[in-house]
Amino acid sequence: MQDLTWVPLFPEEASSFAWQVDALYFYLIAVSLFFGVIVVAGVIGFAIKYREKEKFATPPEIHGSIPLELFWSFVPFVVSMTIFLGGAVVYYNQYKIPEDTMEIYVVGKQWMWKVQHGTGQREINELHVPVGRKVKLTMTTEDVLHDFFIPAFRTKADVVPGRYTTMWFEATKPGKYRLFCAEYCGLNHSGMGGWVYVMEQKDFDNWLAGNLSDQTPVQQGEDLFTNKLGCASCHAGGQNQRGAVLEGIFGKEVKLVGGQTVIADEEYIRNSILNPAGQVVEGYQPIMPTFKGQVTEEQLVALVAYIKSLSGDASATTAAPSAPAATMTPQAEPADASN
Ligand code: CUA
């Protein structure tokens, strides 16, 4: 069952769950073929058996049969439940993001994929990942709907304007695999693709080292936060603290004005930057100006990464999960994510 790629229509299997997707697919084909053959054979067989032998013959009447009714209700029920359960298990494995992933940010744009690693490296229409490591992509788009699709990994996810979507995979074989946009997004949709390079960890480390990085997303976010956008003037603590405390907030439940609670995830932070009055934290005034139109999706990604790092979310970088958390005080050095 492990490798079904001898079928020439199928791309290579190169992720940890690719075989599950293929197994489910082949199961569906097997079930369809089995019943297809029975139905077609029945149609032909009965057409021959009950063909007109004499004009205006009256056939004997047939009444219902309880056992037969039960049989053809029960069997399809069991078969469809196996399909449902198989699909649910594969879907769960594929879209439940596991712990301790390496995080990479992806921004779609007519008509290219812009990728940024936790250590700062950027690439366009290419994605380099190490083999045998769980990788999480956090994705959004600057314009229209796109869809990030890696056939060899048997995974794809829509990339939606105005929100973050995520997907994950663990590549199992070093190599070069196609990357596509799988959502019609305009004139050059068919050209919006590239390559995923799966490398041994050592080669990947070399690649990272050889591609001297810009600031990491966390550093870039901190720069925006303290200097360019001036978020720190209200959010950095001290006497001037007028905005919500951001330290330790990520992933926690936050109480809003009006009594509602939300989880402070990537989406919430993004929304709070673009539409601050929408979900105000209890105890604060709705005085924050909107940053809509002033920050790009890539800058938003950096700000979110920085705010995550204030909660010690080490996955914001590619450093080992035990890496020390970034500190809160704006004067302090950002956590060194480059090693
Ligand atoms: Cu982007 Cu199609």
> Is 114 a pocket residue for ligand 1 (Cβ < 6 Å)?
no
Amino acid, res. 129: V
**Domain at 1-46+63-96: CATH code:** 1.10.287
pLDDT at 322: 37
Domain coordinates in residue numbering, the chain: 1-46+63-96, 102-210, 217-316
Q: Is the peptide bond before 111 cis (omega within 30 degrees of 0)?
A: yes
Q: Which residue owns the Cα nearest ligand 1 atom 1?
A: 146
> Is 181 a pocket residue for ligand 1 (Cβ < 6 Å)?
yes
Ligand 1 centroid – CA 210 distance (Å): 30
Task: For residue 274, report the phi and psi dihedrals to the nearest 5 degrees.
Answer: -85, -30
Return the CA Rg of the chain: 27
* CB of 101 closer than 8 Å to CB of 302: no
Ligand 1 centroid – CA 152 distance (Å): 18
**Domain at 217-316: CATH code:** 1.10.760.10
Atom of ligand 1 nearest to the CA of 189: 2
pLDDT at 4: 56
Q: DSSP states of 208-227 as a string?
A: HHHS---S-HHHHHHHIIII
Q: Is 339 helix (H, G, I), strand (E, B) or coil?
A: coil
Q: What is the pTM of this model?
A: 0.66
**Strands 134-141, 165-170: pairing kind:** antiparallel
Atom of ligand 1 nearest to the CA of 185: 2
Query: Comparing C-alpha atoms, which of 109, 67, 84 is closest to residue 31?
Result: 84
Ligand 1 centroid – CA 145 distance (Å): 7
Q: What gap in Å lies between CA 209 and CA 338, rounded to an integer?
A: 9
Taking residue 149's Cβ as centre, other Cβ atoms within 10 Å add up to 19
Ligand 1 centroid – CA 294 distance (Å): 25
pLDDT by residue, tens only, the chain of 339 residues: 445 556 567 788 899 999 999 999 999 999 999 999 999 999 999 999 888 887 887 878 888 889 999 998 999 999 999 999 999 999 998 889 998 899 999 999 998 999 988 887 888 899 999 999 999 999 999 999 999 999 999 999 999 998 899 999 999 999 999 999 999 999 999 989 999 999 999 888 888 877 666 678 888 888 888 877 878 777 877 666 777 778 888 888 888 888 888 888 888 888 888 888 888 888 787 778 787 877 888 888 888 888 888 887 544 444 333 333 333 333 333 444 443
Ligand 1 centroid – CA 20 distance (Å): 27
CATH homologous superfamily of domain 102-210? Cupredoxins -  blue copper proteins (2.60.40.420)
> Is 157 a pocket residue for ligand 1 (Cβ < 6 Å)?
no
> Is 106 a pocket residue for ligand 1 (Cβ < 6 Å)?
no
